[in-house]
Structures are given as structure tokens and as C-alpha cells.
Amino acid sequence: MGARRAARAIDALRRGWPFRVIATEGALDLIAVESARDPALAAFDSHDVLISGERAVTLKLTNQRAAATPGPVRLSDAADSVAAALAIADPALDLAHPLKGPFRTVPTGGETAAAAAMTMARHAGLLPAFFVRAASGEAETEASADDVAALLDPARLEIAARARLPVEASESAEIVAFRSPEEASDHVALIIGKRDGQPPVVRLHSECLTGDVLGSLKCDCGPQLHAALHAMADAPWGVLLYLRQEGRGIGLVNKLRAYALQDQGYDTVDANLRLGFPVEARDFAIAGRMLELLGIPRIRLMTNNPEKVARLEKEGVAVIERIPLALPTNPHNEHYLATKRDRTGHQL
């Protein structure tokens, strides 16, 4: 029931309806700024706005000590309309509204509830910003911080279906789909070759519609995907884990917003932070669960990102070898790849 309550609250969030998040130290009533409408706000009776710590740092509303581990920030009486709140929350409007505030920050009214709300916004693919008030009266939709954690628990993931899938790299490949009860997005694994008792070559590939399907030159996702599949075909066997975590976990719409910010001169790291998200929001515990369900405890991981090695080992997967994946750059992704090398530790 807990995960279902969280799923219903996320649905309310996307629809612009009020919902409540409950935690031990305080409960909050919230409406997502991005999906809100002024009539709903008028009935909500609060002009306070809750934004993520990353967005607060961008707006210079928190000091550098707090910026090291930013938590949500509540702005008192900050916006009396959806348009005014969007000017605070959406960095696409920063150029049109460069002067913001002055703002007065106040206690959130519940740190755990506020943090859970930010997780819900990211999970819904919305900007992490809310109209907020202390919980009052009855709530039609509510969830606890524990409910949100239950929704995201990778242990809920199970194998839903599997089938033979001939692909360009291997005509004998098998595809396996994974599903959890309340999630709309299904993760998949593509198994290439036959088990031979040795650890397979494994690639964690996060969904990238623009790169994988449309051939975007802004990233290297599409070429990485195809190169990894062919490398697995040349190995005794391999497993591609295709994770439905677009835009490093912030969703397609927010990734496109980050692209627009990159066109203004921000790199991929700063674009995510200006949107109010962590630099890395993917959940690699999902990959650990998928490998567990496939009965694969030891792997040779194909990645340029040492953080993936650390995250998988934290989940109990033995990474016996890291295999680099080197590909040429193009004029559109040179800066992006340099940023991954210089700011996120990728070994290119």
C-alpha cells in the first residue's frame, strides 16, 4: 500500500492537484509549481514556495557551507501567482527575469517531507518547486516519506517477460523486461551470447531518446550503445542493461531544458544544477537488482565512469574488471565530453 500511496501522490503532483507528504518531524501540503493553475492556488491559501537546495544555490539564497549538501529551501510569501513562482523555479526564465527577490527564507516545516517532495518531482519529470504550507485539515491525497522510499525500492523489480530478439549485433540475443507494480517505465536487459561460466561484459546504458533513437550529436549515447553491443558480440557473452532513467535521472523534458541552458553557455553539470537537480540523479541499485534477478553476481563492466563501478559494488555486484569504451568526438559533443572528463571524473 505504501508504494501505491506514493504513486497516487505523484499522479496528483503531475496533474497540479494539492497533496500531502507526511514525515515524523512535520507534514506539508504542496502543489507542484509547474503543473499548478491559479484557481487551485487561490484555494490553497499559501504564497510560500519550496525549491531544491541546488536551485537555491543558483539563486544565491544559501551560503557556501550549506551548498556542499544542499537541502530544500522555503521562501516566505514569495509568489502570489503561478507565473511569479515559475520565474523563481524555471531557469529558462532567468534571462527574462534576472532580478529576483528579495526573499526571506524560513524553516521548511519538515525537512524529511520536503526532501521526499523533491524526489517525487524528479520522479515525475517536473521542476523541483512547490507552493507549500503546513498540513491543514483533511487531505484528499497523501503519502509519507516512507511511502516514497518504498516506491523507489529496487527490490520491487521483478522479471515480467523474456523473448528471443535478433539484433544487428547478434541474431541470437535475448531480451528480458523488468517491471515493478506501480511504475510505468519498464527496464530491459539484452543478453548477447551464451553463458560460459565466466563473468559477462556488462554495459549500463541509461535511456537517451535523442541519442539512441534520433541520432543526436550533442552526446555520445547512441554510438556508445551500438559499440557496446558489438563489443559484447565479440566477447563470449555480455549483458546490456537498458535503464529507463533519461537525462541522468531527471526525465526527458528536464533534459531538453538542460539542453536549452547549454545553448546559453552552461555546461551539462551547471545546467542540471540551475534546474535544481543533482548532477547525478540515476539509481544504480536498479541495475544491481536486475543482475541479481539474472543470476549474475560477477561482471566485467564496460564504462568510462568509475562512479558506476563504486555504485554497483555497493549493491553487492563484484566488478572484476573495468573495460573502457573509447569513441571519437564530433564538434557538437566535444565540450560535453570534456565536461564529463573534467567535472564528473569520467576516464576518457
pLDDT along the chain (348 residues), means of 10: 88 94 94 91 89 92 60 93 93 83 91 96 95 92 93 93 96 96 89 94 96 92 93 94 94 95 90 92 94 96 90 94 85 71 63
Cite the DSSP H helix spans in the chain.
2-15, 38-44, 53-58, 64-67, 82-89, 111-124, 145-151, 221-234, 246-249, 252-263, 268-275, 285-294, 306-314, 334-343
CA dihedral 210, 213, 217, 221 (to 10 degrees): 90
- What nine digits make up the cell of 97? 527575469
Contact (Cβ atoms closer than 8 angstroms) between residue 178 and residue 184: no
Crossing angle of helices 2-15 and 111-124, rounded to 10°:
70
Q: Domains (ranges, CATH) in the chain?
A: 2-151 (3.90.870.10), 154-245+282-343 (3.40.50.10990)
pLDDT of residue 65: 47
Global pTM? 0.89
Would you state the pLDDT for residue 143? 94
Closest Cα partner for 56 from 14, 23, 91? 91
pLDDT the model gives residue 222: 93
User: What per-residue confidence (pLDDT) applies to 69?
Assistant: 64
